[in-house]
């Protein structure tokens, strides 16, 4: 199934990595997410690690987490697969995927 005009939409993905993941291991978690996106046919164009921050409210009894912002391109049909994978990950506490305007 091709996307109309072969223009793949851009997305912003913000996810919070569990504080149980050591700070030096966070890049490995980011790499796993990027590799998954590449494997399903998307591409990650930029990644910004914001570092460890206090959460607005506890998530799974954690009060802080490592925030990561990624810019990516992905066919709309594959977003559900990406979100399902992030929900199943023990390392990712929360995520938010937003489609950017063209």
Question: What is the C-alpha separation between 27 and 17, in angstroms, rounded?
Answer: 10
Mean pLDDT of the chain: 93
Question: What is the C-alpha separation between 28 and 46, in angstroms, rounded?
Answer: 16
- Contact by Cβ (8 Å): 64, 96: no
Pairing relationship of beta strands 43-59 and 92-99 according to DSSP bridges: unpaired
What CA–CA distances, in Å, run from 78 to 36, 50, 82, 89?
A: 11, 26, 6, 17
Please tell me the pTM assigned to this model: 0.90
- Contact by Cβ (8 Å): 53, 64: yes
What tokens appear for 1 in the block?
């199934």
54-97 tens-digit pLDDT = 999 999 999 999 999 999 999 999 999 999 999 999 999 999 99
User: Which domains are present in the chain?
Assistant: 4-99 (3.30.70.60)
């Amino acid at each position: 199934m091709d996307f109309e005009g072969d223009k793949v939409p851009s997305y912003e993905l913000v996810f919070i990595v569990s504080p149980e993941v050591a700070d030096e291991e966070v890049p490995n978690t980011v790499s796993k997410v990027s590799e998954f996106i590449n494997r399903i046919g998307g591409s990650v164009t930029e990644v910004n690690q914001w570092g460890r921050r206090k959460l607005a409210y506890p998530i799974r009894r954690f009060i802080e987490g490592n925030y990561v912002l990624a810019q990516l391109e992905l066919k709309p049909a594959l977003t559900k697969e990406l979100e399902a994978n992030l929900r199943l990950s023990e390392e990712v506490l929360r995520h938010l995927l937003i489609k950017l305007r063209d």
